[in-house]
Structure 1
Amino acid sequence: MSRKLLRIVTLALAVAVLAACATGGAGGRLQTAGDARVFDLALDTELDWARLKAPRQEQWTIDGAPLNQLMIISRIKPGEHVFLGAKARRSRPDGPWFRAGMRPDEVRDIVLDGLRGGGWANVRGSDLRPATWGPTPGLRFDLALDNPGGLQYRGLATAAEHDGRLTLLVWIAPAEHYYGRDAEAVSRLFDSLRFVE
């Protein structure tokens, strides 16, 4: 997927989420605080979210996507773009494509590359650390990035490989207010992740 097309898709998804937040319209619904099920994941959230669903991915927001967004991408197959944007090609073997058995630093790097490809600037990951999704080992790291207009964002990312596929959650919010307001609650949401059948 070209960079321009990826931006258009991201913008369309953001507009749809905003519309769903405002109207409760088709495609969006309220996720109230408490236990939730998303694809093959179970989690517990302390926050209320608007949810916009698509095949193998959802976008959650509290105040609208420009102010906070949680991207949940499920069951990324080997050879797929980490944000489901495209499949690996021989002409670009070093893109942000998932491979089964990747090391934690490799997963972090494809997430960062995927964000850069989506138009984010000054993308940095820090504090890569182990995480657990129930009994499944995973990883977590912190994010710092700027939107194309220069607004500074911070965030959290977590990922785990399960049955040879990757599941990824990325939460971002403007550094000035929204990140500080919700970071601890999102971190606890990440702590509660577990795969279910």
Structure 2
Amino acid sequence: MKMRVRLALVGAMVLAAATPALAWKLVKVGDQIIVGKSSMVITAPTQWNRVTYGPIKGSEEWTLDGLTLNELYVAGDIASGKPLLYEFNKKDNPLPKFADTMQLTDLPDLVERTWRVARNAVVFKTTAVEPAKLGGNDAVRIRYEYVRDGSNLIYKGIATAAVVHGQLQLVLFEAPALFYFDRDSAKAVAVMDSVTFRVMPVAKPS
């Protein structure tokens, strides 16, 4: 079993090295980053690499060593009726949608249902749900682990989510349970704890 996990991890590292170059920017300690032009602002407590686009509006992906090894997914201002990730197959395999009527207690299930579809998680376990704060707002901190279809590699994750002004705010980190999660999760939590929200301009009526 350990050998299969090691081989899966090596495969992930090879995939990361083989991925075509993305548009990356270095985030330095103290940099204030407006996430995807949303209301979410991160004041970087440590250095990260930041890809300059995200899978959905208002989102970005950050990493330390490559997205397959340690992925920090930040998404601000997810509107009601929108998914947490990009939908590759809306017709036949749609993602669950956020609703502004959801309570914090509904968000762990939303993450699980999303990951089962988008990440092909055949095994998904929420290991802890705790009260938290995100930019001074009541939030929920979710700890989970999962295995993707066709893989023996266990991923562990931690997410902090809040509903602010009727929109979902999400900061989520995941990495292989073997080595990377334990090494890097504290840095991800520090990013979550650094979040603030800016006042967005009110759109003028057309």
Whether TM-score is above 0.5 comes out as yes
SS of residue in 2 equivalent to 1:82: coil
User: Which deviations, in whole Å up to 9, do the C-alpha atoms of 1:141-160 show, x marking residues without a partner?
Assistant: 11111233220111101111
Of the two, which has the highest radius of gyration?
2
The amino acid that maps onto 2:110 is I
Shift of 1:113: 0.7
Match of residue 101 from structure 1? 101
Does residue 30 (structure 1) correspond to residue 26 (structure 2)? The answer is yes
Q: Displacement of 1:87 after TM fit?
A: 11
Give the distance between the partners of 1:17 and 1:138, measured in 2 at CA.
37
Give me the whole-angstrom Cα distance separating, in 2, the residues matched to 1:177 and 1:102: 35
Structure 2: which 5+ runs fail to align? 1-14, 200-206
Mind listing any 5+ residue stretches in structure 1 that lack a counterpart? 1-13
In 1, are the aligned partners of 2:121 and 2:148 still within 8 Å (CA)? yes
Q: Percent identity?
A: 27
Q: Deviations over 1:35-86 (max 9, x none)?
A: 4322322233343222112331111111111101011122111111122438
Q: TM-score, normalised by structure 1?
A: 0.78
Q: Report matched runs for 1:164-175 at 5 Å.
A: 164-175=166-177
Q: Which residue of 2 aligns with 1:123?
A: 124
Answer yes or no: is the 8 Å Cα contact 2:29–2:44 preserved in 1: yes
1:146 and 2:147 equivalent?
A: yes
Tell me the equivalent position of 1:156: 158
Deviation at 1:17, TM superposition (A): 11
Does structure 1 conserve the Cα–Cα contact (< 8 Å) formed by 2:70 and 2:184? Answer: no
Residues matched between the structures, number: 177
- Aligned pairs for 1:43-192 within 5 A: 43-52=42-51, 53-54=53-54, 55-85=57-87, 96-118=96-118, 119-148=120-149, 149-192=151-194
1:40 aligns with 2:15: no
In the other structure, the counterpart of 2:203 is none
Distance 1:15 1:174, change over 3 A: closer
- Cα pair 1:79 1:88 within 8 Å, conserved: no
In 2, Cα distance between equivalents of 1:158 and 1:123? 17
**Counterpart secondary structure, 2:190:** helix
| Alpha-carbon distance change, 194 to 86 in structure 1, aligned in 2, over 3 angstroms | farther
Letter in 2 for 1:193: V
**Distance verdict in 2 for CA 1:57–1:134, change over 3 Å:** closer
Matched letter for residue 27 of structure 2? Q
